[in-house]
Amino acid sequence: MKLQVLVDNHTYIDAYYLGEPAVSFLIEEDGKKILLDTGYSDVLLRNAAQLELDLSKLTHIVFSHGHNDHTRGFQFLKENIDVSSMHLIAHPDCFLPRADDTDVFGAPFSAEEITELVRYQPSKSPVYLTEKLVFLGEIPRRNDFEASEPIGRRYKDGTWEKDYVIDDSALVYCGEDGLFLISGCAHSGICNMIAYAKEVCGDHRIVGAIGGFHLLDVGRQLTETIAYLKACNLKQLYPCHCVSLAAKAAMLAELPVTEVGVGLTLEMK
Ligand SMILES: [Zn+2]
Ligand SMILES: [Zn+2]
């Protein structure tokens, strides 16, 4: 499995890619080319061109969840390449309208519009994209220290309701040495995700994780998450996107953290 960071908040010194507060990872596994999230703007296309990556050969697009820093880049993607034969995997609630008192931040297209554009495959259950790469679907939320606060509201069945982003999911690679989790924002809780990945894949070894872990404040969630991750005995951890500097610093003191930036490439068996 090969993973390349195409969009992230961060760029490395002397590597002239563009950053934006968003996520997109390109994953190549067993002949499939999978894009997890599309970023917010055309930065995805511009970084892919700079990295000499051909996105027209994508087989799958996966949305970790519906927020527009993960889905809005799809507008630019579809205007520049033919996406009609690509599979799009997401939770069925991914395309609901979302807002708070000041902003709208849902995906800029409805499930109906998506169905017209790509081979849309909504799923709450796990979906195997290859023998070893799984979209987890809806993540059970069992820990009381994470995923407890709503983020604005979502419009479902004619009413606006508190949005706990239950569509938030992740990919997991079931490698030779154990599981590797790939998250977008981890609104479901990174520890909930790891626990569910172990259950779905039937493997209790977790070697690492990359993605937004939605750790912004220093407090109980961060403390409990670090304790959980330490107990997992991870070999590599790549917190990015929605992880604050303070949270990264706390993690760096206790976990095998590596700095993430656009262009980072990971390969594993
Ligand atoms: Zn989000
Ligand atoms: Zn995000």
The torsion region of residue 31 among left (phi > 0), alpha (psi -120 to 50) and beta comes to left
Spacing, Cα 197 to ligand 2 middle (Å): 20
Spacing, Cα 67 to ligand 1 middle (Å): 5
Q: pTM higher than 0.75, yes or no? A: yes
Spacing, Cα 140 to ligand 1 middle (Å): 17
- For residue 36, the domain's CATH number is 3.60.15.10
Among residues 2, 42, 49, the alpha carbon closest in space to that of 22 is found at: 42
Spacing, Cα 23 to ligand 2 middle (Å): 7
User: What is the number of the ligand closest to the CA of 212?
Assistant: 2
Total domains in the chain come to 1
User: What is the number of the ligand closest to the CA of 22?
Assistant: 2
Spacing, Cα 117 to ligand 2 middle (Å): 23
- Residue range 93-122: mean pLDDT, rounded: 98
Q: Give the orientation angle of helix 220-232 with respect to helix 245-252, to 10 degrees.
A: 40
Spacing, Cα 165 to ligand 1 middle (Å): 8
Confidence (pLDDT) at 130:
98
| 139 touches 189 (CB < 8 A) | yes
User: What is the number of the ligand closest to the CA of 106?
Assistant: 1
Buried b (16+ CB within 10 A) or exposed e, 60-83: bbbbbbbbbbbbbbbbbbbeebeb
- Residue range 127-142: mean pLDDT, rounded: 98
Spacing, Cα 32 to ligand 1 middle (Å): 26
Confidence (pLDDT) at 89:
98
Confidence (pLDDT) at 236:
97
Query: What is the rounded CA–CA span in Å between residue 188 and residue 173?
Result: 18
Spacing, Cα 107 to ligand 2 middle (Å): 12
Spacing, Cα 141 to ligand 2 middle (Å): 19
Query: What is the rounded CA–CA span in Å between residue 264 and residue 261?
Result: 6
Spacing, Cα 65 to ligand 1 middle (Å): 7
Spacing, Cα 87 to ligand 2 middle (Å): 22
Per-residue pLDDT tens for 60-74?
999 999 999 999 999
User: What is the number of the ligand closest to the CA of 38?
Assistant: 2
Spacing, Cα 159 to ligand 2 middle (Å): 24
**Domain limits at 80?**
2-267
Secondary structure (3-state) at 126? coil
Per-residue pLDDT tens for 189-222?
999 999 999 999 999 999 999 999 999 999 999 9
- Residue range 69-89: mean pLDDT, rounded: 98
